[in-house]
Structure formats: structure tokens, C-alpha cells
Structure 1
Amino acid sequence: MTHAPLSQVKRGKVYGIGLGPGDPELMTLKAARLIREASVIAYPTLAGGASFARSIAAEFIAQGTREIVMDVPMTVARGPAQHAYDQGAARIAEALEAGQDVVVLCEGDPFFYGSFMYLFARLRSDFQVEIVPGVTSVTACAAVAQLPLVARNEVMTVLPAPLEDASLRDKIAGSDTVIVMKLGRHFKRVRALIDTAGLTEKSVYIERATGANEVVKPLKDAPETAPYFSMILIVKGADPWL
């Protein structure tokens, strides 16, 4: 029996799968199905630690599934992370060239601060890609805090905490609702800016929304330090109907 040369093998398809904020039950039916059917999955880890993305999807991963692990350094410098994504994309491409579909796991949504977008940029020109959206951390945090985010003509702004103070101040002042993400080591500084703006009483702190270690508190009662997976919701409540 002869086999078709590799160049004639139908290329695989890559799926960027949004897993939601942490609770596996918040994954879409499509995401769960694709993970169950996958023969190859890929996901990032930080500094060789456990993968948060994999932990969300763990119950859906079949025994014997090949796993491509991408160790992405958490540094301010862009070079090391870019190198990790280059290597990860190359390994995924090998599987795709061999005719295997690859499911890439991404917490939250793949295109909302999602790690998958860096792989997408490297693979989209050569391979077929499908994006499966997921519940974002923003909507999850609003749900657990029971805070409507925006109504009618209100404006919402999402801010990464590493922005400079002046930029954060201006953008916080210019929106009806503000989401400040990626707090981590920036938490104390951001908290002080919010307090100076007189918005502490309108702010809620959430960490690890929908997870087993979820924390939801008024910002004034928040802990002194915050993990990376935390955010502050500032809801000014300008709509008179609310």
C-alpha cells in the first residue's frame, strides 16, 4: 500500500478556543465539543508553571491527546515572549502540515487580550483558522459583582493597569464605566488614582471571577495586593433608570 506524499496531505485546521473566565460550565458547547474531539491541543504556560487555560478545559481533554505546551515568559521585554510564540507556532504548523487539526486553548476570549492572537498572526496566512469566542473576564466580573455595565448611550472603557498615571486619569474621567485590568503589581498605584478621583465608593474589586478562589469586594475593602487575574469595575451610574 502506498501513501500520499506529505505535500499532498490535506492540511489541518487551527481552532482558537475561548474558554471563558475560569468556570468550566461557562465554556460554550462548541468549545467543549472541539476539545473533546481534538487529537492535538496547544496552550501557554507562564514560567514553566501550570496552565490556567488547561485547568479550565481539563475535564474535556481525552486521554492520549497530544499536548503542545508553550512556555511564555512573563516579562516587560517583548523579545522572550515573541520567541516563545514563534516556537509554538512552528510546532503547531508541523501538526497542521501533517493533516492534524489543532485546538489552541485560551482563557477568556481569544481576541480580547488573548494569547491566541499572537499565534493567529503567525499562522493565518498559511492555514485555515476558526475562532470560537468565549465569555470575557469583563462580563464575568460584572455578573459576579451584579453590576450592570452600561445602558442606553453610556460609554465603557477598558484600561490595562500598566498605563501611565496621566493616561489612566484622563480615561477614567472620560467614561461612564471603567474596567481596569491586569492589576498585579500596579494595584496600589491604580487604587490611589481612583481614590484621588473620588470614585472609590463607586468601585468594586474582583479577582479570579467564577473560580474557586473568587473574591468580590467594594474597593475600599479590597486586600492590599492583587494578582494578575483581577480587575476593578468603576460604575458611575449616570443613567437615571438604574
Structure 2
Amino acid sequence: MKTGTIHGVGLGPGAQDLLSVRADRLVRSARHVAYFRKAGKPGQARRIVEGMLRDDVIELPMEYPVTTEIPVADPRYNALLAAFYAECTQRLAALTGTGEDVVVLCEGDPFFYGSFMHLYTRLSGQVSIGVVPGITGMSGAWTACGQPMTWGDDVLTVIMATMPEEELTRRIRDTDALVVMKIGRNLAKLRRAVTAVGRQDEAYLVEYAAMADQRVTPLREAESVTPYFSILLIHGQGRRP
């Protein structure tokens, strides 16, 4: 029997018209569609494709056993997620074994800080698997700002706000252009780090980039931030003609 293929499909930052032609074709034609979500929530990836799926689509939500309930450094965190990803891979592999293709919906790009990577590394070499790249959330964010992100020889650094404050400060100091992800509860710490190196007037917070609720706010004016869909940017000012 012919085996099926798992397609990790990048959906881009949030707008349907920012999907690639290939991604659009796969999403609209898929009989089996899988996506990650927090328990009790519809999931952003599923929201992005609302109205695009076949009438007879079979949906396969994959609900995280933990998100922010346990600290990342807690051994239980990795143990729970490892078991979760193992169960997901078995489920998808079993489906392809019956000859069915599966489209896994991925916010942004599948290979850029996404959950699909954990499936890919477990499934690669075992089943037929493909990846469709997508526009990253950070690209949507700097486009929302209406400013070029890097010039000439600018060095761009991408970091997580979950890092220790001392490390955040060092990396912000040592780069030309900056993207900070996973802000949420770490906004106060991030603000201190940016201020410590005197770059607070260069920093912008972008929330819901490329979505209906898109908002761009200078960091000095921001009092809070959305827990998940927020990115901090500092634009490079490098060499130009």
C-alpha cells in the first residue's frame, strides 16, 4: 500500500493572503489537518485557516499538556512535552501508514522556533515528510513598523525574553538590530535590559503583526503586552549609500 506524506505547512504571521501559493493549495485540499493548541483553546494556526478547509476535513488537534504552568527549567516540563511529541508522532505516522496525507498547520515558518520541529526530527527517515516555508512572525512585525530592519553590515540578533536579565542586556548591547520573542510576563525584565544599554528610545513593541488587531507601540509608552503574539524590535542603522 502506498504510504502518505506529512506536510509541515508554514502559514505566515497571521493573514491568509500571506500564505504561499503552495501552502494555500495544500491547506485547501487536505483531508486530514493537524495543529497544535492549548487545551480549551481553538489555536492560532486553526484560526488562520478559518474558511479555507474542505467541508469533509478531518481535524486532528494536538493539545499541549503544559504551557506556562511549570517552569521550563523543571525536569517535569521536558518529560511531559517529550511524551506528548512522541504520542503525536505515533498518531500521525499511523495515519500515513494507511496511505493518507496529513497537513500540519504551523504558525510562521515550520523551522523557526515552532513545535513542528519536534515532530520533524522524530519522523524524519521514518515516513515521507515535507516542509513548506512561511513568512516569519518577526518579518510581519518589522513590516508593520514601516521601517527597514537591517542595513549594510548590520548584525541581526534574535533572542528570547525568557533569558536571564544579564544575558539579555549583553546581547542587546552587542548587536545592531534586535528581535525579541516570547515576551509575555518578561516585559519588565526586558524593559530594564533595554534601558540599561540606553536603547529604550529605539525599541518598539509589535503585537498581533499582520492580524486584524495589529498594534505598534514605542517601548517607552507600553504598559503591558499580549502574552504570546508580541515581538520587540530595535531597527539597525547601518551602512547605506
Shorter-chain TM band? over 0.9
In structure 1, the residue matched to 2:11 is 19
CA distance in 1, matches of 2:236, 2:19: 30
CA contact (8 A) 2:154 2:237 kept: no
CA distance in 2, matches of 1:113, 1:59: 26
Deviation at 1:47, TM superposition (A): 2.5
In structure 2, the residue matched to 1:80 is 80
2:56 to 32, 51, 64: 64
In structure 1, the residue matched to 2:42 is 50
Question: Once the two structures are superposed, what CA deviation does each residue of 1:9-52 show, in whole Å capped at 9, x if it has no partner?
Answer: 11101100000011111111110100111111110011331110
CA distance in 2, matches of 1:79, 1:146: 42
Number of residue pairs aligned between Structure 1 and Structure 2: 233
TM-score (normalised: structure 1): 0.92
CA distance in 2, matches of 1:238, 1:153: 6
In structure 2, the residue matched to 1:224 is 224
CA distance in 1, matches of 2:175, 2:185: 24
Does residue 186 of the first structure (1) align with residue 186 of the second (2)? yes
CA distance in 2, matches of 1:214, 1:13: 35
Larger deviation: 213-222 or 135-144?
A: 213-222
CA distance in 2, matches of 1:66, 1:220: 46
CA contact (8 A) 1:185 1:226 kept: no
The 1:236/1:134 distance shift into structure 2, 3 A limit, reads: closer
Deviation at 1:125, TM superposition (A): 1.7
The one-letter code sitting in structure 1 at the alignment partner of 2:139 is: T
The one-letter code sitting in structure 1 at the alignment partner of 2:13 is: P
Secondary structure of the structure 2 residue equivalent to 1:217? strand
In structure 2, the residue matched to 1:158 is 158
Does residue 116 of the first structure (1) align with residue 116 of the second (2)? yes
CA distance in 2, matches of 1:13, 1:231: 33
State which structure, 1 or 2, has the greater radius of gyration over its C-alpha atoms: 1
CA distance in 2, matches of 1:140, 1:195: 25
Question: Once the two structures are superposed, what CA deviation does each residue of 1:203-237 show, in whole Å capped at 9, x if it has no partner?
Answer: 11101101111111111111324322101101242
CA distance in 1, matches of 2:175, 2:138: 16
Larger deviation: 195-204 or 217-226?
A: 217-226
The one-letter code sitting in structure 1 at the alignment partner of 2:91 is: R
In structure 1, the residue matched to 2:98 is 98
The one-letter code sitting in structure 2 at the alignment partner of 1:42 is: A
The one-letter code sitting in structure 1 at the alignment partner of 2:12 is: G
Identical residues among aligned pairs (%)? 35
In structure 2, the residue matched to 1:197 is 197
TM-score (normalised: structure 2): 0.93
In structure 1, the residue matched to 2:33 is 41
CA contact (8 A) 1:177 1:236 kept: yes
CA contact (8 A) 2:35 2:62 kept: yes
Deviation at 1:240, TM superposition (A): 5.2
CA distance in 2, matches of 1:125, 1:33: 25
CA contact (8 A) 2:207 2:225 kept: no
Residue segments in structure 2 that go unaligned for 5+ positions in a row: none
Secondary structure of the structure 1 residue equivalent to 2:51? helix
CA contact (8 A) 1:207 1:227 kept: no
Larger deviation: 216-225 or 191-200?
A: 216-225
In structure 2, the residue matched to 1:3 is none
Alignment RMSD: 1.3
Secondary structure of the structure 1 residue equivalent to 2:50? helix
Within-5 A mapping of 1:125-164 = 125-164=125-164
CA contact (8 A) 1:68 1:91 kept: no
Secondary structure of the structure 2 residue equivalent to 1:228? coil
